[in-house]
């Protein structure tokens, strides 16, 4: 993660439009506030499908990218609706898919079972290898560092001097960091860094008591700064000057119009997007 900040830009005032998982993810996927989409609470099975799923009339960033010639995919945690098949990824809304649909139930794993972060990194690398010779868009929402806070023993051993609960949390972060490193290494191997705009954004503030809000008031579930002001990084080698720190406020809703701009396309007024194209800001042109 530090390498993205070093080779790209870190925003000190990066925000998301909601302090909980599902509405924040819907905002990223649509470029629209949850007040427009009606998705203002977490998606859980058994709820009204029109208020607990990403409604079928909404158009996702993947659909927008596919319309301009991109192969698209999701690898990771969906969590924006799973009450029935038509609301799942792969039904025209995101393309290639691999991951978890819900994430509500905690199921004990057998001892030694692999954690998700390296699996997602492996699948993301495979996606890039399969589609390296054509334009592609890939959404990789990690389960980590969401609860349950359970990490692999070998990574946890790196933090043996910490109290047990802190070992687990530190290892969980480290596993996600290692997975991001694997994805970045594959980009370099395929010589795609100069053709790939990367965003790394949390969906909300930390929930675990071990999470640090860096002095901000509140955390996940609360509409104070600690709930909606998050880690917000971007990298595009050769386009975004390296090592910049920007205090201009940005929000996850900006990703969709910015990605389209990077692809050489534009948004349309009838889409009623709430995000803004920040590519000129990223490139240092404004």
Q: What does the block give as tokens for 105?
A: 């139930």
**pLDDT of 131 over the 80 cut:** yes
Of 254, 255, 236, 234, nearest in space to 245 by CA: 234
Section 15-28 average pLDDT: 92
DSSP β-ladder status, 14-15 and 244-246 = unpaired
Cα three-residue angle 144-150-152, rounded to 5 degrees: 95
Specify whether the backbone of 268 is left (phi greater than 0), alpha (psi in -120 to 50) or beta. Answer: beta
- Of residues 45 and 247, more confidently modeled: 247
Cβ pair 80, 39 in contact under 8 A: yes
Section 229-235 average pLDDT: 97
Reported pTM: 0.88
Cβ pair 64, 116 in contact under 8 A: no
Please name the residues in contact with 87: beta carbons below 8 A apart, sequence gap of 6 or more. Answer: 49, 53, 54, 56, 81
Maximum Cα–Cα distance across the chain: 56
pLDDT bin (cut points 50, 70, 90) of residue 235 is very high
Predicted local confidence at residue 112, as pLDDT: 59
pLDDT bin (cut points 50, 70, 90) of residue 286 is confident
Of 137, 138, 136, 143, nearest in space to 100 by CA: 143
Predicted local confidence at residue 174, as pLDDT: 92
Predicted local confidence at residue 251, as pLDDT: 98
Predicted local confidence at residue 29, as pLDDT: 95
Section 257-273 average pLDDT: 98
Q: 64 is in which domain, residue-wise?
A: 2-282
Predicted local confidence at residue 265, as pLDDT: 98
Predicted local confidence at residue 43, as pLDDT: 64
Q: What is the CATH number of the domain that holds 224?
A: 3.40.720.10
Tell me the pLDDT tens digit for each residue of 150-175.
788 889 899 999 988 789 889 989 99
Of 256, 203, 246, nearest in space to 18 by CA: 203
Number of separate domains in the chain: 1
Chain-centroid distance, C-alpha 108: 25
Task: Provide φ and ψ at 128, rounded to 5°.
Answer: -65, -40
Tell me the pLDDT tens digit for each residue of 54-87.
778 899 999 999 999 999 999 988 867 665 565 5
Cis peptide before 145 (omega within 30 of 0): yes
Predicted local confidence at residue 146, as pLDDT: 79
Distance CA 159, CA 133 (A): 40
Predicted local confidence at residue 150, as pLDDT: 79
Tell me the pLDDT tens digit for each residue of 93-104.
555 555 554 555
pLDDT bin (cut points 50, 70, 90) of residue 28 is very high
Distance CA 12, CA 249 (A): 8
For residue 97, the cross-strand partners are 74
């Amino acid at each position: 993660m530090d390498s993205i900040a070093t080779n790209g830009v870190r925003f000190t005032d990066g925000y998301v439009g909601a302090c909980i998982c599902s509405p924040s993810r819907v905002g990223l996927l649509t470029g629209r506030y949850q007040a427009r989409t009606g998705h203002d609470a977490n998606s859980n099975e058994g709820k009204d499908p029109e208020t607990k799923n990403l409604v079928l009339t909404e158009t996702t960033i993947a659909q927008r990218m596919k319309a301009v010639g991109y192969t698209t995919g999701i690898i990771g945690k969906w969590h924006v609706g799973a009450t029935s098949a038509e609301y799942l990824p792969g039904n025209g809304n995101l393309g290639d898919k691999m991951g978890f649909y819900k994430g509500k139930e905690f199921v004990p794993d057998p001892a030694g079972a692999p954690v998700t972060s390296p699996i997602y990194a492996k699948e993301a690398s495979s996606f890039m290898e399969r589609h390296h010779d054509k334009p592609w868009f890939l959404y990789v929402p990690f389960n980590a560092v969401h609860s349950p806070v359970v990490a692999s023993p070998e990574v946890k051993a790196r933090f043996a001097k910490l109290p047990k609960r802190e070992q687990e949390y530190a290892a969980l972060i480290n596993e996600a960091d290692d997975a991001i490193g694997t994805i970045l290494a594959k980009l370099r191997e395929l010589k795609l860094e100069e053709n790939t705009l990367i965003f790394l954004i949390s969906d909300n503030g930390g929930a675990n008591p071990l999470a640090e809000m860096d002095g901000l008031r509140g955390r996940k579930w609360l509409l104070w700064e600690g709930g909606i002001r998050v880690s917000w990084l971007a990298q595009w080698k050769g386009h975004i000057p390296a090592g910049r720190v920007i205090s201009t406020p940005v929000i996850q809703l900006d990703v969709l119009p910015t990605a389209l701009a990077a692809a050489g396309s534009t948004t349309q007024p009838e889409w009623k997007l709430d995000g803004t194209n920040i590519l000129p800001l990223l490139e240092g042109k404004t």
